[in-house]
Amino acid sequence: MPGYCEPNMIEDELLKWKFKRGSREALSRIYEKYVHSLLSLAMGLLNDPHDAEDVVQDIRLYDYPSFGHPIPV
């Protein structure tokens, strides 16, 4: 159907738009939506469950709107 977009595609586009404008909430939502896919990808690349979990957790700890500076804990 021309012009039809899946609801997830619309949400993803909105999240990208918000993320590019510095929304930490958007980054959190993106992480929540894709954490299982990220973990699966990391496992496939690293073949080590602990390393894969560390990599995925590291993604969560970075403040991408501030260009990769770690979020103070």
Q: How far apart are CA 63 and CA 73, in angstroms?
A: 11
- Residue 48: per-residue pLDDT: 97
- Residue 59: per-residue pLDDT: 79
Q: For the whole model, what pTM was predicted?
A: 0.64
37 part of a folded domain = yes
34 part of a folded domain = yes
- Residue 2: per-residue pLDDT: 54
The CA–CA distances, whole Å, from 28 to 10, 46, 60, 67, 69 equal: 17, 24, 8, 16, 16
Average pLDDT in the 40-45 region?
96
41 part of a folded domain = yes
Average pLDDT in the 44-57 region?
95
Tell me which residue range forms the domain holding 40: 7-70
1 part of a folded domain = no
Q: Considering its fold, how many domains does the chain have in total?
A: 1
2 part of a folded domain = no
50 part of a folded domain = yes
